[in-house]
Amino acid sequence: MSVIPAELSYTTSHEWVSVEGDTYTIGLTDFAQDALGDLVFVNLPMEGDEVVAGEAFADVESVKAVSDVFSPVTGTVVQINEDLLDAPEAINEDPYGAWLVRVEEVSEVGDLLDADAYEAHCAQEA
């Protein structure tokens, strides 16, 4: 059973979002990291890049496959978690600590699930 913190919001494509003021922090869920397996590479956008809700903004590579990471919001990247570039395993070890990007100037938020709805979604996919 994967960990799904109650205070976060989720996408059906397995990203988590936390909101503090105007800042949206985005990462990959425990379910996602478990399905992907050991990550060996993370490709992040640049600070200042525009991201669009529902479109890929980053990709992660495991020994099995490369997978896109989709943005839950439309906005501007203000910070990226550079530590992940050298240590992608942090996402496997601590998915809710290892955030990918922080986005501000958000103009649109895509469809998000609360923890209960996301848990039901994961149960369906498992």
Partner 1 sequence: MKLLFERSVAGRKQTIFPDLDVPEATFDETLVRQSAPRLPQMAEVDLGRHYTELAKQTHGVNDGFYPLGSCTMKYNPRVNEQVAALPGFADIHPLQPEETVQGCLGAMHELEGMLAEICGMDAMTLQPAAGAHGEYTGLLLIRAHHLANGDTGRTKIIVPDSAHGTNPASAVMAGFTVVSVPSDAQGGVDLDALRAAVGPDTAGLMLTNPNTLGLFDPNIVEICQIIHEAGGLCYYDGANLNAVMGHARPGDMGFDCVHVNLHKTFSTPHGGGGPGSGPVGCKAFLAPYLPNPRVVERPDGTLAFSCSEQSVGKVRSFYGNFLVAVRALAYILTLGREGIPEASASAVLNANYLAHFLAEAGYALPYGERCMHEFVIDVGPLKAETGVSAMDVAKRLLDFGVHPPTMYFPLIVHEALMAEPTETESRETLDEFVGLMTGILKEAHEDGERLHSAPFTCPIGRPDEVKAARKPHVRYEFDEEG
Using CB under 8 A as the criterion, which residues of the chain lie in contact with partner 1 when the complex forms?
A: 38, 40-41, 55-56, 61, 63-66, 88-89
Pick between residue 64 and residue 79 the one whose CB is nearest to partner 1: 64
Comparing CB distances to partner 1, the nearer of 27 and 88 is: 88
* CB contact at 8 A, 115 and 8: yes
Query: How many Å apart are CA 62 and CA 65, to the nearest integer?
Result: 5
C-beta of 38: minimal distance to partner 1 in Å?
Answer: 4
Rounded Cα distance between 111 and 108, Å, is: 10
Q: Least Å distance between CB 44 and partner 1?
A: 16
Least separation in angstroms between CB 71 and partner 1: 13
Segments in 8-103 forming alpha helices (H): 30-36, 83-86, 89-93
Q: How far is the CB of 75 from partner 1 (least distance, A)?
A: 18
52/41 Cα distance (integer angstroms): 22
